[in-house]
Amino acid sequence: MSLATFLGELLHPAVTPDAIRSEIYFLGSRHRGDALSGALAEIDLAGLPQARVRLLRAVIERLTQA
């Protein structure tokens, strides 16, 4: 783990359950009801902020557990 990654994890709060639920709703709206494939497609986009990547990873984890 690099120093930048460590500091990023340390300085940014964890993704909240409310943020995950909201993102699932918005991904479903943008991707015709398929939030999981939307999250998988969007996480591959270049130049995403680290916070957005963390949120999308949390969404993917939540949707694959269900």
- The pLDDT tens digits along the chain (66 residues) read 677 767 766 777 689 999 999 999 999 999 999 999 999 999 999 999 988 999 999 999 999 996
Q: What's the pLDDT at 3?
A: 78
Strands in the chain per DSSP E: none
CA gap 17, 39 in Å, rounded? 16
CA gap 22, 59 in Å, rounded? 10
Q: What's the pLDDT at 4?
A: 72
Tokens describing residue 13: 């709060």
Q: What's the pLDDT at 14?
A: 80
63: closest CA among 39, 36, 26, 38? 36
Predicted TM-score of the model (pTM):
0.78
